[in-house]
Chain A
Amino acid sequence: MSTTTRNMTLGQRFLANEWSALAVAIVIGLVTLAVLSPAFLTEFNLYVMLRSFCVVLIVAFAQMLTLAVGQMNLSVGALGGLVAITVGGMMEKWGFPVPVAILCGLAIGAAGGLINGLLTVRTGINGFIITLATASAFTGINLGITESIPFYNLPASFVAFGTGRFYALPYLLLPPVLIAIALAFFLARTVPGRQLLAVGGNPQAAELSGIPRDRVIVMAHTLSGLLAGAAAILAVAQLGSAQPTIGVDWLLMSFAAPIIGGAALTGGHISVAATALAVVLIVIIQNGMVLAKVDPYWVQFLLGALILAAVGLNRLRAVRAGGA
């Protein structure tokens, strides 16, 4: 392994890297858009792009953590919607201070994830079915409480955070960046983080080496719920209102980014950097579509094509690596 790495040129080493194709695609996209559209590199457009990056990134991380242990969380969007409206309701109806409401929202997210994890581990039923069911339950609570009516009157300071910016940098970008750094550190350097990847990579081996498998899976689900909650709070700040529909369109995106970033459904193989790059690519494509004034339906179509292309590319690389 080490000798082959040493014999490769810099370019080859770059191409062997998982996210190389993503990086190339992003650069091509940026250059093309910058050349074709004068509006692309304006401060405001960059701000808009960075703003739409925030929520999607955390949603992708929420799914990534469950994928890491070979599970999935179909309830990210539903849980997000529930957290969004409870945070909105706490601030508008009950007059909670913003930090308290945010903490409560995060706690609800984590609790939802904990429920997912405990149900999956205790019953031994496939996480897909469990989270499909809890997703329906969370959505039901959301709609039952709000009857589809959003909370509009949120504290001014909270809304200001959602729209504020420093030149092209939205304040909203701060939490996702901190979360990404914390997550990368968590997965690379801490014992629970390593355990998480170990359980995903080979559950039997992990169990034999004394890692509490069930506890790690519950932890992954809890963290996933926590991140879904964080994404929801950001979405509320971004929109300036707590819409019950927050989260309904997260499912595809949540899987798309980690998978385009090379995550395997079987677990143990995820990358914070690659997932983040995948989100960048998705955001660039969406922005390009808007600038080109293409039918918005093309976004849906292209996202599907992008997932297939990424999966095909990864497959090709795996086959080649196997043959070499």
Chain B
Amino acid sequence: MKWSLTHGFTMTHSVSSDTRGRPSFLAEQSNLIGLAAIIILFWILFTSLAPGFVSSFNLFALSRSLAVDVVIGFSTMVVLATGGMNLAIGSIGVCAVMASGYLMQTIGLPIPVAMALALLLGAFLGWLNGFVIVRSGVNSFIITLASASLFLGGMLILSKAQTFNALPPEIAAFGRMRWGFVSPLLFIALGIGAALIVLFRFTALGREILAAGANARAAELSGVPVGRAIIIAHTLSGALAASAGLMLVIRLGAAMPSIGQDWLLPSFLAPVLGGTLLAGGYVSVVGTILGAFLVTTIRSGLLVMQIGNFWLQLFLGLILLAAVMLDRYRSIYAERRSLGRKDAGRRSSGRRA
């Protein structure tokens, strides 16, 4: 059975004994359309309740935080593709942030060189995660929980938690730059998304990563270098976390040690809302962008309506719950409907993601 793919990237079902459900083409489309509908609904709601929501100032601010949220989501997404997790995203991000601050302010390196080195550091820390996970065979949750603490601790020891706020003025100028209503940062984020689409749809490497996540044993037996795929996914995740951190540096015009501490929830919100499976083997780049868009919309809307930061956490939690439950019931419903048509027995067995 093969499914033609447009937005989602699923491994073809050569391993049919695997009962973990992956969304079919239609379910995937309906997920994205549903998500887009919810986003539009919130936009109408916020615009009618608080006209300031669509002011050019707010749209610009929204585009900047959207860019960061999207990249944070990607960073988790590429690891979820392998069926693993990366809890160290915030820590890797802040390490890259502080490294870039140090390189620009204290050493005085040119901006592009400093940024490139910071990205390399992020990739290296991600590689370290992947290497230890593959070599030890220990669950990625534990390894990245520990390394998150290790990286954050190391960063604080080295930097003494000092903010770098005398960065070259070009950084802040770039952060204030507007293309129409939006920040160029958003285009960078979307560019990264396009690259990820190419990676997962058209390259052997992307398929290997997904295969490793879908069914590691089967992938191994059919010659996929699973260990290498996992390490590369973590390296990529580290580089993406570093990019998100650098975007924040550009936005804030300073390198702060507090960056990244609140990334855990949004990093999972975006891909999970977008339909990426925790079990691995399936990612949705467009879904992750939409998921991040929903989160940013709600955050910005609540801020404009001055409900404030205090209740925001509650809303985000409830929305995540509602979204995953909705998705659950929709896929169960879709499954029931399709039972009569094809391979009833195989897919009816209970799934627990």
- Please tell me the number of chain B residues within 8 Å of chain A, measured between CB atoms: 47
Contact B317 A301 (CB under 8 A): no
Contact A129 B153 (CB under 8 A): no
- Please tell me the number of chain A residues within 8 Å of chain B, measured between CB atoms: 43
* Chain A residue at minimal CB-CB distance from B136: A315
Looking at the assembled complex, report how far the CB atom of B17 sits from the nearest CB atom of chain A, in whole angstroms.
16
Contact A311 B136 (CB under 8 A): yes
Docked complex Cα distance between A104 and B351 (Å): 37
Contact B317 A300 (CB under 8 A): no
Docked complex Cα distance between A304 and B315 (Å): 32
Looking at the assembled complex, report how far the CB atom of B327 sits from the nearest CB atom of chain A, in whole angstroms.
9
Query: Which A residues, 210 to 262, have Cβ-Cβ distances below 8 Å to chain B?
Result: 252, 255-256, 259
Docked complex Cα distance between A119 and B85 (Å): 21
Q: Does B59 contact A (CB under 8 A)?
A: no
Docked complex Cα distance between A143 and B308 (Å): 10
User: Which A residues lie within 8 Å of B152 (CB)?
Assistant: 300-301, 304
- Determine chain A's interface SS by DSSP, over half rule: helix
Docked complex Cα distance between A123 and B325 (Å): 7
Given contacts A128-B278, A140-B315, A265-B139, contact A133 B320 (CB under 8 A): yes
Contact B316 A140 (CB under 8 A): yes
Contact of B310 (CB < 8 Å), options: A72, A128, A147, A295: A147
- Determine chain B's interface SS by DSSP, over half rule: helix
Q: Does A137 contact B (CB under 8 A)?
A: yes
Contact B153 A301 (CB under 8 A): yes
Q: Does A125 contact B (CB under 8 A)?
A: yes
Looking at the assembled complex, report how far the CB atom of B22 sits from the nearest CB atom of chain A, in whole angstroms.
15
User: Which A residues lie within 8 Å of B278 (CB)?
Assistant: 126, 128-129
Contact B353 A124 (CB under 8 A): yes
Contact of A300 (CB < 8 Å), options: B138, B149, B313: B149
Q: Does A182 contact B (CB under 8 A)?
A: no
Q: Does B154 contact A (CB under 8 A)?
A: yes
Contact A255 B310 (CB under 8 A): no
Docked complex Cα distance between A129 and B327 (Å): 13
Contact B146 A143 (CB under 8 A): no
Q: Does B107 contact A (CB under 8 A)?
A: no
Contact B153 A300 (CB under 8 A): yes
Contact of B321 (CB < 8 Å), options: A72, A137, A148: A137
Contact A304 B150 (CB under 8 A): yes
Docked complex Cα distance between A240 and B173 (Å): 47
Contact B313 A143 (CB under 8 A): yes
Interface core residue of A132, A265, A305 (most chain B CB under 10 Å)? A132
Contact B310 A133 (CB under 8 A): no
Looking at the assembled complex, report how far the CB atom of A246 sits from the nearest CB atom of chain B, in whole angstroms.
15
User: Which A residues lie within 8 Å of B161 (CB)?
Assistant: 297
Contact of A255 (CB < 8 Å), options: B142, B154, B352: B142
Docked complex Cα distance between A123 and B132 (Å): 33
Q: Does B350 contact A (CB under 8 A)?
A: yes
Q: Does A308 contact B (CB under 8 A)?
A: yes
User: Which B residues lie within 8 Å of A138 (CB)?
Assistant: 317
Docked complex Cα distance between A300 and B316 (Å): 28
Interface core residue of B161, B328, B352 (most chain A CB under 10 Å)? B352
Docked complex Cα distance between A126 and B142 (Å): 17
Interface core residue of B85, B141, B149 (most chain A CB under 10 Å)? B149
15 more CB-based (< 8 A) A-B contacts, given A138-B317, A303-B153: A124-B351, A130-B321, A136-B313, A137-B321, A140-B314, A148-B310, A252-B148, A302-B153, A303-B149, A304-B146, A304-B150, A305-B146, A307-B149, A311-B143, A312-B138
